Structure 1
Amino acid sequence: MEVILLERIAKLGQMGETVKVRDGFARNYLLPLGKALRANAANKTRFEAERSTLEARNLERKSEAQKVAEKLEGKSFIIVRSAGETGQLYGSVAARDVIEVLAAAGFNIGRNQVDLNHPIKSIGLHNVTLHLHSEVEIAVEVNVARSAEEAERQSKGESLTSADAIYGVDEDALKPEDFFNPEADFDGEEE
């Protein structure tokens, strides 16, 4: 199906372009959300008549998104979750959790604006990309930790998942012989 784009769509085209897309994508996403019109003679004339208002609305949305991006620039958000000693979370941090933390900080971000391809499953500092507008995106830092104190230590660069941090062992001082003795019998006794 050919459609006329009413706004810039990533990996598809710019506003005003006529592009060919799959029927389902047009019927289920582009047309219902008002992002495109069917490409026929009547809609082409309608688009040309409304082009200036659409461009003005798009420019306004972009400027609002840039203001939000400026406020988010350099911010770090803390998410406290239960985790094992190795840093593996009991559960995961999904886009919904990121949205809740952003909402608590006063930012109204939609679920479809959070680019989190895989859920976060370990403690640490993670960068999450937010698509605020088709032309404005920003990466925010999400600090996943077991407590607020650990989050503060992580933000200073301290690793909470290494053997030194967990067990008080210097990883550089460990040798393979410390773990495996080739002269030992299967019952653990030396021959």
Structure 2
Amino acid sequence: MKVVLQKDVLNLGDAGDIKEVADGYARNFLIPRRLAVRANDGNTKMAIHQKKLASLKRDKRVKVMKDLAASIEGQTYEIKVKVGEKDKMFGSVTATDIANAMKKSGIELDKRKLDLGEPLKNVGDYKIKVRLAEGVTPQIQVKVIGEG
């Protein structure tokens, strides 16, 4: 039976794909869970149209993110933290701290886009990847400065 996927289905396909599946799989699993609908002329045309719209939206988003990436690539952000003896930090610098430092310079960015790996626990310079969109990952410099 041919079906049009309404949502992404693991090991089958993405939303909008037209797939040939076993009748029982379609009737007993995909259709009752609203993961797919039976493929007919109307549903097929709708799926193709939705894929085109999604592609256009994704291309537009990538273009906007490339412009943002060009503006932040190589920028240096300073974060001042309190330190004790031997430059030992109290706490750590997290993605939230870096996002707040970027916000002060006029760039609003979600903290989940910053790829730290783990919080920064030492004073020094770090290179941080920013995941903006598929294939758009600029790097920024974060300078952790101890005070106190």
Q: With structure 2 as the length reference, what TM-score do the two structures score? A: 0.70
- State the SS of the aligned residue for 1:118: coil
Q: Which residue identity lines up with residue 50 of structure 2 in the other structure? A: E
Larger RCO (CA under 8 A, 6+ residues apart): 2
**Structure 1: which amino acid aligns with 2:117?**
N
Match of 2:9?
Answer: 2
Distance 1:91 1:2, change over 3 A: same
Q: Answer yes or no: is 1:51 the counterpart of 2:58.
A: no
| Residue aligning to 1:145 | 145
Which residue number corresponds to residue 62 of structure 2?
Answer: 62
Q: Structure 1 residue 41: deviation in Å?
A: 3.5
Residue in 2 aligned with 1:40? 36
Secondary structure of the structure 1 residue equivalent to 2:86: coil
Give TM-score scaled by structure 1 length: 0.55
- Could you tell me which residue of structure 2 aligns to residue 22 of structure 1? none
Question: Residue 76 of structure 1 corresponds to which residue in structure 2?
Answer: 76
Structure 1: state its 5+ residue gaps: 7-14, 19-37, 148-191
**1-structure distance, mates of 2:53, 2:119:** 39
In 2, Cα distance between the equivalents of 1:5 and 1:41? 13
Aligned equivalent of 1:122 = 122
Percent same amino acid among aligned pairs? 20
Deviations 1:49-98 (A, max 9, x none): 21221111111100111111100112100000011342321111001101
In the alignment, which residue of structure 2 is the partner of 1:109? Answer: 109
Q: Distance in 2 between matches of 1:141 and 1:17?
A: 45
CA contact (8 A) 1:89 1:123 kept: yes
Contact 1:69 1:138 in 2 (8 A): yes
CA distance in 1, matches of 2:90, 2:99: 20
Bigger radius of gyration, 1 or 2? Answer: 1
Between Structure 1 and Structure 2, how many residues are aligned?
Answer: 120
**Structure 2 residues not aligned, in runs of 5+:** 1-7, 20-33
- 1:17 deviation in Å? 10
For 1:98 and 1:39, locate their aligned partners in 2 and report how far apart those are by CA, in whole Å.
39
Q: Distance in 2 between matches of 1:16 and 1:145?
A: 51
Moved over 3 A (4+): 3-6, 15-18, 41-47
**Equivalent-residue separation in structure 2 for 1:54 and 1:118 (angstroms):** 33
Give the letter for the 2:9 counterpart: E
The amino acid across from 2:143 in the alignment is N
Q: CA deviation at 1:39?
A: 4.7
1:132 is aligned to: 132
Which amino acid is the alignment partner of residue 127 of structure 2?
A: N
